[in-house]
Amino acid sequence: MGSPILHESIANLELPDLITGHIAGLPVLPKTPAISLPVRYPGSGETIASLQEDDATQVATAVAAAKARFESGEWSQSTIEERQRVLRATAQAIRTHANDLALRESICAGLPFAHLAARQIPRAADNFDFFADYIGVLAGETFDQLQEYRTVITRHPVGVAALFAPWNACLALSSMHVASCIAFGNSCVLKPSEFSPLAVLQLVHLLESAGLPSGVVNIVNGRGAVTGAALAQAEGIDRIAFTGRGDTARNVMSAAAERLTPVHFELEGNSANIIFDDADIDRAIDGALVSAFGNSGQICIAGSRILVQTQIAERFIERFVARTETLRVGDPLDSTTEVGPMGFAEHQQHVLNFFTLAENTGANLLTGGRAMPELGSGYFVAPTVFKVLDNHSPLCQEEIFGPVVTIQVFEDDEEAWAIANDSRFGLVGYCWTESLHRAQVFQQKVQAGTLWLNTPIARDLRAPFGGFKASGIGRDGPRHAADFFTEEKATIAALGKPAIMKIGMGQ
């Protein structure tokens, strides 16, 4: 191994040579012949394990196991108190094993260990606690307005969900889908990214140790074109929740349309971060750095299009670039690292390709714009800032998904709103201003599902989260999860013996 820290960490984890799926409480048996995929540590490019790819046969087995468990009623008809107990025990187990989970995620995805341990792993635990609380207060509805009748609305679990989790926050995002799915009594088949399978697999072990019946949550592994396609097309799937790229989502939606399966998508973004001339510039710089380079820039909610007003542009750009150049890039297992490597080699090349596009479209490179071979054979990209002349640059119109920022200068408020909305995406938006009027207009005019005002990323789990336009379909959130993962049933009962129209009485 190239890194002493990595060598010690992997030794402590006791990783299997072959990582397999998990169906009905048991690991999927190794197949012969089988397709195995390398799982590499992005900090050095070293292979740390192999992943067995599941085909349509294993996917069908997983769906059947989830269906059988659902129909048994052991979980789907369990009491709210029992589901709460399991969800809360899982949350506690995640906190107890936080360092282990963060390490498993870090060595697969290359995300800084310190960031995972401080933010993403605690969020995963919070997701289970949150839905344990929510199902305890979720109420049905009763309508008595129809004279002589009472209408009662009840919710029922839908069945089996197919859940797709991306590599950039695999545990955090899969935990949201799993917690909201099983809280209402459903079963599921989860396909994590083939690049980051370890922490999610450990999460399922923790769930079952907390008392979740085997078969409620199952895991299949592999590439999207193989395992993912088989899962999206599988008979017996009642809901599909997918987080990832838009082109893949279109394929999933096409497969779902064959069976009219409802879908929930959280997709891409390239979000505007508007800095007005009356902003607290120190806070705006701090917030812009966090929103752009947090998670090594590999985050759909990155504020990667910075729009700064003319009056403060020179001062902001100078200070922002200087701070960008001090970001600590390196081994994600080092506690001081702020920006880690890209998740895998192909994604590093995807990010680097934008630098060629930038040169060809007249963007002005202010810092970065290169790989970092001096850090070894890992998939590192230098934190990068471009100044662009207009929003038509591909750097502004596509999701780069790396530590890359564009800066545009605007004159007045209307120009800022127009640039912010000049995008096929609409996931989030940021704004920095001390003006109440501007803040209110920002809320009204910017076309995005979540808006952050004078703050970088913050999440209230009670609020809906999702995107406008090509950034998604549906919302995460308690009420929205209840609507997606349950079916509503209306039962209309007579009170007493209201009159019934008589027919078939002859002459």
Report how far residue 55's alpha carbon sits from residue 227's, in angstroms, rounded to the nearest whole number. Answer: 6
Report how far residue 335's alpha carbon sits from residue 459's, in angstroms, rounded to the nearest whole number. Answer: 24
Report how far residue 69's alpha carbon sits from residue 216's, in angstroms, rounded to the nearest whole number. Answer: 6
Report how far residue 173's alpha carbon sits from residue 176's, in angstroms, rounded to the nearest whole number. Answer: 5
Longest dimension (CA), the chain: 98
Predicted local confidence at residue 5, as pLDDT: 53
| Residues near 25 by beta carbon (within 8 Å), at least 6 away in sequence | 208, 214, 215
| Residues near 419 by beta carbon (within 8 Å), at least 6 away in sequence | 272, 305, 307, 391, 408, 410
CB-CB contact of 158 with 502 (8 Å) = no
Residues in the chain: 507
Report how far residue 450's alpha carbon sits from residue 472's, in angstroms, rounded to the nearest whole number. Answer: 12
7: pLDDT strictly greater than 60: no
pTM of the model: 0.95
Place of tokens 């609020």: 463
2: pLDDT strictly greater than 50: no
CB-CB contact of 277 with 311 (8 Å) = yes
82 is catalytic: no
Measure Cα distances from 351 to 130, 204, 354 in Å: 36, 32, 6
Predicted local confidence at residue 132, as pLDDT: 98
Mean pLDDT, the chain, as a whole number?
96
Report how far residue 69's alpha carbon sits from residue 50's, in angstroms, rounded to the nearest whole number. Answer: 29
Report how far residue 399's alpha carbon sits from residue 395's, in angstroms, rounded to the nearest whole number. Answer: 8
Among candidate residues 181, 188, 300, 431, the one labeled active-site is: 300
Higher pLDDT residue, 483 or 17?
Answer: 483
188 is catalytic: no
**269-306 pLDDT, tens per residue?**
999 999 999 999 999 999 999 999 999 999 999 999 99
CB-CB contact of 20 with 28 (8 Å) = yes
**111-170 pLDDT, tens per residue?**
999 999 999 999 999 999 999 999 999 999 999 999 999 999 999 999 999 999 999 999
Average pLDDT over residues 431-457: 98
The angle formed by the CA atoms of residues 396, 400 and 405, to the nearest 5 degrees, is: 60
CB-CB contact of 18 with 27 (8 Å) = no
Q: Which runs of consecutive H residues, i.e. helices, occur in 25-150?
A: 56-72, 80-96, 98-109, 113-115, 121-137
8: pLDDT strictly greater than 70: no
59: pLDDT strictly greater than 50: yes
- Residue percentage of the chain with pLDDT more than 70: 98
DSSP symbol at 33: S
- Residue percentage of the chain with pLDDT more than 90: 94
User: pLDDT tier at 1 (50, 70, 90 boundaries)?
Assistant: very low
Among candidate residues 266, 268, 338, 399, the one labeled active-site is: 266
CB-CB contact of 343 with 196 (8 Å) = yes
CB-CB contact of 162 with 136 (8 Å) = no
Q: SS3 of 379, please?
A: coil
CB-CB contact of 31 with 64 (8 Å) = no
Q: Cα dihedral angle (360, 362, 363, 369), rounded to 10 degrees?
A: 40
CB-CB contact of 377 with 368 (8 Å) = no
Full 3-state SS string of 447-504 = CCCEEEECCCCCCCCCCCECCEECCEECCECHHHHHHHHEEEEEEEEECCCCCCCCCC
